[in-house]
Amino acid sequence: AWLKHQVGGFKDKDGFESNFVRHIETTLARSMFNCDETAAYAACSLAFRDRLILEWNRTQQRQTFADSKRVYYLSLEFLMGRALDNAMLNIGQKELAKGGLSDLGFRIEDVIQQEHDAALGNGGLGRLAACFLDSLASLNYPAWGYGLRYRYGIFKQEIIDGYQVEVPDYWLDFNPWEFPRHDVTVDIQFYGYVHKSTDENGKATARWEGGETVKAVAYDVPIPGYATPSTNNLRLWSSKAASGEFDFQKFNSGDYESSVADQQRAETISAVLYPNDNLERGKELRLKQQYFWVAASLYDIVRRFKKSRRAWREFPDQVAIQLNDTHPTLAVVELQRILVDLEGLEWDEAWNIVTNTFGYTNHTVLPEALEKWSVPLIQHLLPRHLQIIYDINLFFLQSVERAHPGDRDLLARVSIIEESQPKMVRMAYLAIVGSHKVNGVAELHSDLIKTTIFKDFVTIFGPDKFTNVTNGITPRRWLHQANPRLSDLIASKTGTHDFLKDLTLLNKIELSVDDPAFRKEWAAIKLANKARLAEYIKTTTGIVVNPSALFDVQVKRIHEYKRQQMNIFGVIHRYLRIKAASPEERKKFLPRVSIFGGKAAPGYWMAKQIIHLINSVGSVVNNDKDVGDLLKVVFLEDYNVSKAELIIPASDISEHISTAGTEASGTSNMKFVLNGGLIIGTCDGANIEITREIGENNIFLFGNLAEDVEDLRHAHNYGQHTLDPDLVKVFEAIEKGTFGDSKDFAGMITAVRDHGDYYLVSDDFQSYLETHDVIDEAYRNQEDWITKCITSVSRMGFFTSDRCINEYAEGIWNIEPLPIETAE
C-alpha cells in the first residue's frame, strides 16, 4: 500500500521544487526574487494540493464504481486547524518538502506557520468531527462530511487589560484548500405555505409553495488519509442569492441599494459560526442555517443515490447518515418530506427508510444545551416540516400508547412537542425517534443518558437502541504532527511508524521503560517542548517562565462546568501559602507555571469574569518579588487547534476537572496523555476509561462522584452548605482587593457562596488542593514521573479515533472499507 501511495506524491525533491517555482511564477504571478514566507506557504500548498487532487479524483471514481454503502457525517462544525503540515505528513513527503524548501531558502516551520487555522467550530464537538474525517480517510471508508462554509469562523480572542475582546475571524482571503463548485448548487426554500389536495386516486397530497429561495453553492475540501491514496471529500455549503431573487426590477428601476440588500440577506445565512458552546439560544438565523445546510446536503445525497437507479427501499443499504448532535435533526424531517411529498412513497414505507438511515450522537447532558425550537418559528420558516413533525409525533405517541396503555404521564414526558407557552419542538427526542441508533461519547456519559435525560426512551425502544462509542483522537495530528520528536523516538523502539495506523502497537514501548537512553531522550524531548512554549509565552505575553518548572495546563472552552474558576482559586490558595511562608520555607515549594487558555462565549458573563480573574491574578503574582519562579500564571490568548499543537506537547500536568457527570467525554485529556503529560481529573467523561487503560497509579483523580452530585446539590439548596475553610480564605483575599476591584469578581464568589454552588466547587476544593500537593511530591521524583509518563503513553492505544470509526462503521453504519489495489 505504501508503494502505491508514493505514486501520489512528488517523484523527488526536484519535482517538488519545480512545481513550487511554477506556482510562484504562474499561479501567483510573482518572481522567486520577491518570494516571502507568505508566498512560499501559498506555493507549497498549491504544489501539495496538486498531488491531492489526483488521488481525490481517483478515490471518488473508485467509490462511484464500487457503488457500496457510504456514510455521510453531518456536522455544523469542523474544527480543522491547519491543512498543509497534515497534507505533507499524510502523503508521506514532509521530509522531501523540508529539503526542497531549504534549497529555496526557507525553513519549513516558518512556512507552515503562515497558514491561518480553519476554525469552523467551537470546541470538542467540532474537533471530534475533524479527527473523524482523518480516520475515515486513513481507513479507506467511503465517507463524506457535510457542513457550512462560514465566512467568519470562531472569533479571534484578544486579551485587553485582562478582558476578552472578540475580533472577527475573516479566514477566506486566501484558502488553497477549497474548491468552489459553482456547478453544484441547490435551491433552498424558506417560508411560504402548504397546499393540500387530493390526487386522482383519492390520495391526500401536500405541496410546499411560495416563500423565498436561497442558493446553496458547494465548496469541496480534500481530506487526505494517512499512508493511503484515499482522499475523501468535505463538502461545505455557502449561501448566495438565487438568480431569480436578485431583484432586477428593483435594480433597473434604480433601487440598487435594496436589490443589493436582498443579496446580502441571502449571504447572511452562511456568514457566521454561532460562538456558543453548550448553550442554546433559539435564534431564527441559526434555524435557517440548520435547514439550509441539511436540505442542501440531503438533496446532494439523494441525487447521488438516484443515479444508481435502485429502489427506494435500498436507500439504507447505500446511505448512512450520522447526526453530530441534534443540530442536523431537521434532516430526519426533510428526508421524510422528500420521500412522501416529492417521491410519492407511503408514510410507513418512507419512515422505515428514514429511521434505518440515521444515527444520532449525543454530546452533552447539560439542560441548557439541549436544543428546542419554538413551534411558531418553525411554522413560519418551514410550514410543511412542522406538519410532518406533528405527524411523526402522532404516530410515535400512538405506538407508545399501544405498548403502555393509559400512561398519560409517559406520553407527556416523551412527546416531541413540549406543551409550553409557546410550544417547543424537542430536537433530541425527534432525533431519537428518527434514528436506529443513539450513542453517547464515553461510557459514563452513555450510561447517564440512558438513566436520566433519555430514560423513558429506553423503556420504549429497549436498551439496544442506545450504545456507547468512546471518543478518540487522530494520532497523526496529535502525536506525529504536534510532537514529531516523540513520534520518532517511539518509532525507534517499535521499529516503524506503524503505530500511527495501529495505535495499540504503542504498548511495545513499555518494554523500554527502564532503558536509560530512551528515558533520557524522552525527558529531553519534553524539556525542549517546554522551552519552545516558554519562548512563545515570552514573545506573546512578556512573561518569563522557567522551562524546568512544572507546567500545569488547562486549555478548553471557558465554562462553569469545566471549573476553570476552581483552578484559579487553587492558584490563589498556593499564592497565599507562598506569601505566608518564611524565606526558608519558600525554598520547599515546587516551582510551577499555571497556564490557561480558552474562549468564552461572547454573551457568557460568568465565563468572561473567570478570564478576567485569571489575568488579574497573573499580573499580581507574576510581579511579586516574594514569589519569583515559584509561581507564574499565564493566560494564552486565542486558544485554537494550532496553538493546541504547541501547548499540549509541553505540559507536565493538565486539568480535566469538570463536576462529575457534566463533561460528556473530553478529548484533550487523551491528547495530553498521548504526548507524555499526566492529568489531574475528576471521575468524569473519558477520564474514567483513561484510568482503566493506563492504571490508577498514573493519573491524579479527586473529587465527588457523579452518583453523589444530585444529593450534594439538594443539600446546598436546603442550607447545608458550609464552605471549605481554604476557599473562604481565597474569597477573603479577593474581596480585600488583592487582585484589583473585588466587584469585578463578585459573581464568581456569590455563585459558590450564595447561589447553591451548582458545580460543587467548594465540595471538591479540599480534595483538589490535596491532589495538587500529591502532584508536587510525585514530580520531585523525576525517575518515577518519567516511568508514569512512558507507561501511560504505551497504554493509550484505545483512544485513537481509528478505533472509534471502526466501532461506528460496524455497530451503527454497517459500512466497510473500500480495498485499495496495491500494485500499480
Q: Locate 414 and state its grid cell.
A: 416523551
For residue 148, state whether it binds ligand 26W (rule: CB under 6 A). no
Choose one: 362-370, 531-539, 726-734, 812-820; the region binding ligand 26W (CB under 6 A): 362-370
- CA proximity to 562, closest of 502, 619, 639: 639
Does residue 361 sit in helix, strand or coil?
Answer: strand
- CA proximity to 38, closest of 113, 103, 119: 113
Choose one: 130-138, 273-281, 299-307, 721-729; the region binding ligand 26W (CB under 6 A): 273-281
For residue 666, state whether it binds ligand 26W (rule: CB under 6 A). yes
Choose one: 96-104, 648-656, 659-667, 707-715; the region binding ligand 26W (CB under 6 A): 659-667
Q: Which of 9, 123, 434, 475 binds ligand 26W (CB under 6 A)?
A: 123
Q: Locate 666 and state its grid cell.
A: 473530553
Among candidate residues 519, 556, 563, 788, the one labeled active-site is 556
Q: Locate 276 and state its grid cell.
A: 456558543
What's the min distance (Å) between Cβ of 276 and ligand 26W? 5
For residue 471, state whether it binds ligand 26W (rule: CB under 6 A). yes
What's the min distance (Å) between Cβ of 599 and ligand 26W? 12
CA–CA distance, 253 with 242 (Å, rounded to integer): 20
Q: How many CB atoms lie within 10 A of CB 619?
A: 15
Q: How many CB atoms lie within 10 A of CB 57?
A: 12
Choose one: 92-100, 458-466, 643-651, 662-670; the region binding ligand 26W (CB under 6 A): 662-670
What's the min distance (Å) between Cβ of 662 and ligand 26W? 8
Choose one: 277-285, 331-339, 631-639, 806-814; the region binding ligand 26W (CB under 6 A): 277-285
Burial of 206 (0-12, 13-18, 19+ CB in 10 A): middle
Among candidate residues 49, 384, 562, 592, the one labeled active-site is 562
Whether residue 458 contacts residue 400, with contact meaning beta carbons closer than 8 Å, is answered with: no
Q: How many residues bind ligand 26W (CB under 6 A)?
A: 23
CA–CA distance, 249 with 173 (Å, rounded to integer): 32
Residues 574 to 613 in contact with ligand 26W, rule: CB under 6 A = none
671 as an active site residue: the answer is yes
477 as an active site residue: the answer is no
For residue 371, state whether it binds ligand 26W (rule: CB under 6 A). yes
For residue 60, which amino acid is it?
Q
Q: Which is nearer to ligand 26W, 665 or 704 (CB)?
A: 665
What's the min distance (Å) between Cβ of 77 and ligand 26W? 8
CA–CA distance, 216 with 293 (Å, rounded to integer): 8
CA–CA distance, 58 with 62 (Å, rounded to integer): 6
Whether residue 277 contacts residue 304, with contact meaning beta carbons closer than 8 Å, is answered with: no
For residue 363, state whether it binds ligand 26W (rule: CB under 6 A). yes
For residue 824, which amino acid is it?
E
Strand 592-597 and strand 118-120: the pairing is: unpaired
Residue 229: is the preceding peptide bond cis (ω within 30°)? no
Mask for 18-57, x = binds ligand 26W (CB under 6 A): ----------------------------------------
Q: Which is nearer to ligand 26W, 17 or 325 (CB)?
A: 325
For residue 444, state whether it binds ligand 26W (rule: CB under 6 A). no
DSSP state letters, 437-486: EEEESSHHHHHHHHHTTTHHHHHHH-GGGEEE----B-HIIIIIIT-HHH
For residue 685, state whether it binds ligand 26W (rule: CB under 6 A). yes
For residue 667, state whether it binds ligand 26W (rule: CB under 6 A). yes
Half-sphere exposure of 586 (CA within 13 A, CB side): 15
556 as an active site residue: the answer is yes
What's the min distance (Å) between Cβ of 165 and ligand 26W? 22
For residue 664, state whether it binds ligand 26W (rule: CB under 6 A). yes
Half-sphere exposure of 279 (CA within 13 A, CB side): 18
Q: Locate 563 and state its grid cell.
A: 471549573
Q: Which of 665, 771, 792, 800 binds ligand 26W (CB under 6 A)?
A: 665
For residue 128, state whether it binds ligand 26W (rule: CB under 6 A). yes
Q: Locate 244 and state its grid cell.
A: 431569480
The torsion angles phi and psi of 79, rounded to 5 degrees, stand at -95, 80
562 as an active site residue: the answer is yes
What's the min distance (Å) between Cβ of 363 and ligand 26W? 4
What's the min distance (Å) between Cβ of 558 and ligand 26W? 13
What's the min distance (Å) between Cβ of 332 and ligand 26W? 17
What's the min distance (Å) between Cβ of 359 and ligand 26W? 14
Q: How many CB atoms lie within 10 A of CB 13?
A: 18
557 as an active site residue: the answer is yes
Choose one: 122-130, 199-207, 344-352, 620-628; the region binding ligand 26W (CB under 6 A): 122-130
Mask for 282-321, x = binds ligand 26W (CB under 6 A): ----------------------------------------
Closest CB to ligand 26W: residue number = 124
H/E stretch holding 524 reads helix 516-541
DSSP class of residue 549? S
For residue 441, state whether it binds ligand 26W (rule: CB under 6 A). yes
Q: How many CB atoms lie within 10 A of CB 602?
A: 15
Q: Give Cα separations from 162 to 541, 602, 616, 634, 736 (angstroms).
A: 12, 15, 6, 11, 19
207 as an active site residue: the answer is no
Among candidate residues 215, 557, 573, 772, the one labeled active-site is 557
Whether residue 486 contacts residue 469, with contact meaning beta carbons closer than 8 Å, is answered with: no
For residue 147, state whether it binds ligand 26W (rule: CB under 6 A). no
Q: Which is nearer to ligand 26W, 332 or 489 (CB)?
A: 332
Region for 760 from its dihedrals, namely left if φ exceeds 0, alpha if ψ lies in -120 to 50, beta otherwise: left
Whether residue 505 contacts residue 494, with contact meaning beta carbons closer than 8 Å, is answered with: yes
Mask for 324-343, x = binds ligand 26W (CB under 6 A): -x------------------
For residue 663, state whether it binds ligand 26W (rule: CB under 6 A). yes
What's the min distance (Å) between Cβ of 445 and ligand 26W? 8
Mask for 609-648, x = binds ligand 26W (CB under 6 A): ----------------------------------------
Whether residue 664 contacts residue 442, with contact meaning beta carbons closer than 8 Å, is answered with: yes
- CA proximity to 221, closest of 181, 191, 265: 181
Place of cell 476509561: 689
Among candidate residues 671, 772, 788, 795, the one labeled active-site is 671
Q: Which is nearer to ligand 26W, 351 or 478 (CB)?
A: 478
What's the min distance (Å) between Cβ of 603 and ligand 26W? 12
Task: List active site positions.
Answer: 363, 556-557, 562, 667, 671
Binding site for ligand 26W (CB under 6 A): 122-125, 128, 276-280, 325, 363-364, 369, 371, 441, 471, 663-667, 685
